[in-house]
Amino acid sequence: MQKLYKNCKMMDKRCYEVYGLTEDILMEHAAQGMADYINQHFNKESILIVCGVGNNGADGLALARLLHHRFSTINVYLPFGTKSQMAKKQLERLKNLDYVTIVDTWCHADIIVDALFGSGLHGELDEKSQEIIIQMNQQSGFKIACDIPSGLDEHGMGLSAVFTANVTLTMGARKEALYSDVAKNYVGKIYRIDLGVHYSHYTKEEPVASYLLNPDDLDLPNRDFSQTTHKGDFGHAAVLCGEKEGAGIITAMAASRFGAGLTTLVAQSEINPPPYLMHTTFLPEKSTAIAVGMGLGVSFDSDFLVHNIVTSTLPIVLDADALYHHDLLKILDQVHREVVVTPHPKEFSMMWKILSNEEISVEEIQEKRFEMIRKFNTKYPHVTILLKGANMLISEQDKLYINAFGSSQLSKGGSGDVLAGFIVALLAQGYTAIDATIHASLALTQASNSQHINAYAQLPIDLVEQVGQLYTQQIEQTFKDNPAYVNFGRGKTD
């Protein structure tokens, strides 16, 4: 996994005060890293760099100077002139060169570089800024954002207009804002650029905001430790199957597929599950983990739930309808129990109202995803929460992890039931709540992304089947060149 930070202000300051580097030196490395990327991926194309008045614009001006002569044209557009001392300095340097043209109006290009605002953006955009961003987005060329797409603020929220990048070249360290659900629509592929000192020294002593999960963080269930095992060695997952029985059956199928030695559906009415799943009307005595909530409805009375589920000490996944249930939510107060909750934003809103008597809309949750999950974590530090979304957020004990591999393929009923099944399977096999949630989420996204099927056609059962095809070696091969984990600049390793 990789470290994410709120911003790089203190890291840049340490470069100045501890390592004796200057703002100019850091800017040269930022520009060189961008030039390295462009030179490696393009040849003979025309380039337009749109520069703002501040240091993001100065990065763009320095980039223009460092690009190779092989490009057909290199144009720089300064719609607002320059304001910062570094922008003025970089412009003076650029004027001494004859292979870069400073234009006074918009012009077409094969490559458009957004160096308008970057991470320094505060407040709303004025009308002209909005128009420029819209113009950039309307161009057919390949689009590159310098540090962070213009129009995204430091929290990853979009303003009135946002540059839509194919690639974002972010400076120094990865920012948490790049991994918000809103940002996912705009950042494209993300590469990191070193700034004059190795990454380990650049980020030294800086508090980490969160962690970006890597594909190779996935720890698949392991059955290689002994040849003399039996089904009981791999746990017994109990899944409550309620009013909408399909959801519970999908969860149980996923749990069985993901390594649980036994999986039992607990149902109060007649059901018709696959033959490899057991079913009963009571909680099996030798259960090692429980999943409850998927399609639960009103099939179980409160006495059953309190006696069998709430008073139990078994590891548990609370999903869907369980997050609306006052009795089941009392489980969150059990500090010595392995507890996982997996809400989507609407479920989080309802759950939070029950737990804190505070109303917060789905829209507010989406705007404050990082803030809200940390707020929950402060109230229930011992509980593992997975907040569903384009990027899944996972938190426990002040640690926040981001699974950024989700896609629209998972936007279909039943995907969450599969996730709950993967989690309860790992809990049943002895994983801690946080580990079970991290590895189950990675297994879900990897199973989805490795499907050779149209995005609209993927079914939950496809995910259940595909997870059995995952191997660590395959995962490493699939993602070894993933741009989220490749860096440009003098240092190459996080």
Share of the chain above pLDDT 90, in %: 72
| Domain harbouring 275, CATH code | 3.40.1190.20
For residue 236, tell me if it sits in a domain: yes
pLDDT of residue 222: 77
For residue 475, tell me if it sits in a domain: no
Q: Are residues 205 and 244 in the same domain?
A: no
Q: Are residues 159 and 206 in the same domain?
A: yes
pLDDT of residue 53: 94
Q: Are residues 381 and 445 in the same domain?
A: yes
Q: Are residues 117 and 265 in the same domain?
A: no
Confidence band of 106 (pLDDT split at 50, 70, 90): confident
pLDDT of residue 292: 97
Contacts of residue 412, Cβ cutoff 8 Å, sequence gap at least 6: 458, 459, 460
Q: Are residues 231 and 200 in the same domain?
A: no
CA 358 to centroid of chain Cα atoms: 26
- For the beta carbon of residue 211, count every other beta carbon within 10 angstroms: 18
Place of tokens 């705007």: 367
What mean pLDDT value characterizes the chain? 90
pLDDT of residue 154: 85
| Domain harbouring 38, CATH code | 3.40.50.10260
Confidence band of 483 (pLDDT split at 50, 70, 90): low
For residue 478, tell me if it sits in a domain: no
DSSP strand pairing (2-4 vs 210-212): antiparallel
Q: Are residues 224 and 206 in the same domain?
A: no
Q: Are residues 193 and 69 in the same domain?
A: yes
Q: Are residues 174 and 229 in the same domain?
A: no
pTM higher than 0.85, yes or no? yes
Please spell the DSSP secondary structure of 399-443, one letter per residue. Answer: EEEEE----GGG-STTHHHHHHHHHHHHHHTT--HHHHHHHHHHH
Q: Are residues 67 and 43 in the same domain?
A: yes
Residue 440, domain extent? 219-469
The answer on pLDDT for 317 being more than 50 is yes
Smallest Cα–Cα separation from 370: which of 393, 391, 389, 347?
393
Distances (CA, A) of 43 to 51, 199, 437: 22, 29, 44
Average pLDDT over residues 179-193: 94
Q: Are residues 304 and 345 in the same domain?
A: yes
The answer on pLDDT for 276 being more than 90 is no
Contacts of residue 187, Cβ cutoff 8 Å, sequence gap at least 6: 145, 148, 149, 152, 165, 168, 178
The answer on pLDDT for 207 being more than 60 is yes
Q: Name the 3-class secondary structure at 164.
A: coil
DSSP strand pairing (46-51 vs 316-318): unpaired
Number of structural domains in the chain: 2
Q: Report CA torsion sign: 28, 88, 108, 160.
A: positive
Smallest Cα–Cα separation from 406: which of 375, 382, 441, 437?
441
pLDDT of residue 478: 52
Q: Are residues 88 and 180 in the same domain?
A: yes
For residue 186, tell me if it sits in a domain: yes
Per the CB < 8 A criterion, the answer to whether 329 and 354 are in contact is yes
Q: Are residues 270 and 304 in the same domain?
A: yes
For residue 55, tell me if it sits in a domain: yes
For residue 477, tell me if it sits in a domain: no
For residue 158, tell me if it sits in a domain: yes
For residue 493, tell me if it sits in a domain: no
> Helices 460-467 and 415-428: crossing angle, nearest 10°?
30
Which region holds residue 123: left if phi is over 0, alpha if psi is between -120 and 50, else beta?
A: left
Average pLDDT over residues 145-168: 93
